Amino acid sequence: MGENRFIGEFPKIGIRPTVDGRRRGVRESIEDHAIGLANAVAQFLSENLKYSNGESVQCVVADTCIGGVAEAAACAEKFRREGVGVSITVTPSWCYGIETMDMDPHIPKAVWGFNGTERPGAVYLAAVLAAHNHKGLPAFGIYGRDVQDLGDTTIPGDVQEKLLKFAKAGLAVATLRGKSYLSMGSVSMGIAGSIVKDDFFQEYLGMRNEYVESVEFLRRMELEIFDKEEYEKAYKWVKEHFVFGEDINEPKGQRTAEQKEKDLQTSIKMAIIARDLMIGNEKLAEQGWVEEACGHNALIAGFQGQRQWTDHYPNGDFMEAILNSSFDWNGKRAPYILATENDCMNGVTMAFGHLLTNTAQVFADVRTYWSPDAVKRVTGKVPTGKAQGGFIHLINSGPAALDGTGQQKIDGNPAIKPFWDITDDEMMACIKNTQLRPGNTGYFRGGGYSTDFTTKGDMPVTISRLNYIKGLGPVLQIAEGYTVELGDEMHDSLDLRTDPTWPTTWFVPNLTGEGAFKDVYSVMNNWGSNHCVVTYGHVGSEFMTLASMLRIPVNMHNVSSESIYRPSAWNMFGTQESEQADFRACQNFGPLYK
């Protein structure tokens, strides 16, 4: 379908059928069932999961059943050769735990112990999970709720759910590994999130850090180190399809028509150059720029922008918005992950959301909690419906994907979809509902174009954010909720008090009445930084599964306890106060790549 932008292949899922190694009767009687289960899991996962380019996820099954150490080693060797990044062990029977288990410390692991009783698959499951815990190699247990008959290779619904949750998060872990975070510029406006903690990237994510100074954009523009044909195409596309909105600057702060035209051209060139910096472009090699053609293998990047760049050159808003979207002048394609203000912690959070859902992400400032009283004081009206307890204004110039307009649909409702499910009409609707507006020249003295839109209401979304705490390391916070619409009048009076050329999302978290989710105010009050990421869907539990694989504790969430899925070892740190147990488990096992 789409391209693979990165060096190497997408990680595969390795399936390991394990059996009791006793030949002359026992092994032979269960092998077919074990292989049948392994094939069923492989088929189920490749039918239901896609890589970020839209292709089906690939599974590899071990060449033989694994009854002992020699076969476990042969399987590990095959998995290494095949580029397996995630492993799932399946069995209907008793097997020998420490002789058959997957010992690779970096590969996320799950074990499905068949719930039958003719043979003791669940006994193995318990034994092998104990072995994983004993050895500090956390694994996810999968034990179906209802007993199945010997020989049955159907995958029950509850097992399917766990397989998918595990595999999605596991593939995200394996995809991040070996990729780069590319920092374009340095720290923006004193924002701590834009201090790139290389130890965090290396030890928690298995990623490399790369750095280019923003002056590289100037060099590439001046020496025309970009595909000029592509630039012409992009320029035409932008002029033809985007609505150009009003300039809200005071007349003396407005840029001239000539400057604005130049700003638009620069903005488009910046988008092409940033993408080339991230993933390379073979067209550059044809022009003799072979080094530049290679790119930085960057799955995530950040652009400092403010202030040195934006004080003199057009802002990065168009570049950030279009790269983070699921489409551009070349048509629909996976989003590139680009954080504004070089907030790498939000950039990583965006990558989590993208890899778990294959959708575009909305990067935003967590700007304002509007209480019902404050809304009444300012507008004379009280908010109603989902917004009645107040709401949070998410708004930042730049990096909100245009998919965040909410103009795509699932079952007739506003949604954000993987690029391969987006129709041409939906793509155009995202564009038509966005205005390119001359940036606020008080902030952006070098001009540029911000992307103004308002997110459709009633979308189930999850906001999240990784924070870095000295002495503790990274922690993740999550709030599931909904986007809301306020009606034109209320929207205008609240939005116009802010930076109205920026994209706005009105958000209401789901409340539990307790702790940080006591009310909307307390969610705002407990947010750990100036930024968050909006991901389509209620996917908090997917984030939590991923965080546990990376040993990142979750310090705040409103995910129901039944849908939380973590390695079995986590229960050994306490089954009642799961938040504290998570902290202790993460601390105990330490970063995945340390």
Ligand X SMILES: C[C@H](O)[C@@H](O)[C@@H](O)C(=O)CO
**Which residues contact ligand X by CB under 6 A?**
189, 306, 341, 365, 396-397, 443, 530
Q: In angstroms, rounded to a whole number, what is the distance separating the alpha carbons of residues 194 and 304?
A: 8
In terms of C-beta distances under 8 Å and separation of at least 24 residues, what long-range contacts does 82-85 make, across chains too? 82/12, 82/14, 83/8, 83/9, 83/11, 83/12, 84/11, 84/12, 84/13, 84/14, 84/60, 85/11, 85/12, 85/13, 85/170, 85/171, 85/173, 85/174, 85/175, 85/177
Consult the annotation and say whether 531 binds a ligand.
yes
Choose the stretch contacting Mn ion; rule: CB under 5 A; options: 8-16, 205-213, 250-258, 392-400: 392-400
Query: Minimum Å distance from CB 1 to ligand X?
Result: 35
Query: Minimum Å distance from CB 420 to Mn ion?
Result: 30
Q: Which of 266, 396, 454, 505 binds Mn ion (CB under 5 A)?
A: 396
**Residue 454 partner contact from Mn ion, ligand X, none using kind-dependent CB cut-offs of 5 to 8 Å:** none
Choose the stretch contacting Mn ion; rule: CB under 5 A; options: 170-178, 213-221, 394-402, 495-503: 394-402
Q: How far is CA 385 from CA 99, 372, 552, in A?
A: 58, 12, 35
Contact in structure between 99 and 86 (CB atoms under 8 Å): no
Q: In angstroms, rounded to a whole number, what is the distance separating the alpha carbons of residues 557 and 118?
A: 41
Consult the annotation and say whether 341 binds a ligand.
yes
**Residue whose CB is less far from Mn ion, 365 or 480:** 365
Q: In angstroms, rounded to a whole number, what is the distance separating the alpha carbons of residues 475 and 547?
A: 9
Site for Mn ion contains 408 (CB under 5 A): no
**Residue 501 partner contact from Mn ion, ligand X, none using kind-dependent CB cut-offs of 5 to 8 Å:** none
**257 class by beta-carbon count within 10 Å (0-12 exposed, 13-18 middle, 19+ buried):** exposed
Site for Mn ion contains 499 (CB under 5 A): no
Choose the stretch contacting Mn ion; rule: CB under 5 A; options: 374-382, 388-396, 408-416, 554-562: 388-396
Q: What is the dihedral of CA 289, 294, 298, 304, to 10 degrees?
A: -20
Q: In angstroms, rounded to a whole number, what is the distance separating the alpha carbons of residues 229 and 182?
A: 26
Backbone angles phi, psi at 165, to 5 degrees: -60, -45
Q: Which tokens go with 271?
A: 């988008």
Q: Find the radius of gyration of the CA atoms of the chain.
A: 25
Look up tokens 């004193």; give the residue. Answer: 190
Q: In angstroms, rounded to a whole number, what is the distance separating the alpha carbons of residues 289 and 242?
A: 32
Site for Mn ion contains 365 (CB under 5 A): yes
Contact string 61-80 vs Mn ion (x = CB under 5 A): --------------------
What 3-state class would DSSP assign to 311?
coil
**Residue 545 partner contact from Mn ion, ligand X, none using kind-dependent CB cut-offs of 5 to 8 Å:** none
**Residue whose CB is less far from ligand X, 209 or 498:** 498
Query: Minimum Å distance from CB 245 to ligand X?
Result: 18
For ligand X, which residue has the nearest CB?
443
Query: Minimum Å distance from CB 304 to ligand X?
Result: 11
Q: In angstroms, rounded to a whole number, what is the distance separating the alpha carbons of residues 314 and 449?
A: 8
Query: Minimum Å distance from CB 318 to Mn ion?
Result: 16
**Residue 306 partner contact from ligand X, Mn ion, none using kind-dependent CB cut-offs of 5 to 8 Å:** ligand X
Consult the annotation and say whether 224 binds a ligand.
no
**Residue whose CB is less far from ligand X, 304 or 397:** 397
Number of residues in contact with Mn ion, rule: CB under 5 A? 2
Query: Active-site positions?
Result: 341, 365
**139 class by beta-carbon count within 10 Å (0-12 exposed, 13-18 middle, 19+ buried):** buried
Q: In angstroms, rounded to a whole number, what is the distance separating the alpha carbons of residues 192 and 348?
A: 14
**Residue whose CB is less far from Mn ion, 276 or 341:** 341
Query: Minimum Å distance from CB 133 to Mn ion?
Result: 41
**Residue whose CB is less far from Mn ion, 322 or 559:** 322
Bind-site residues: 341, 365, 531
Question: Binding site for Mn(2+), residues?
Answer: 341, 365, 531
Query: Contact residues for Mn ion (CB under 5 A)?
Result: 365, 396
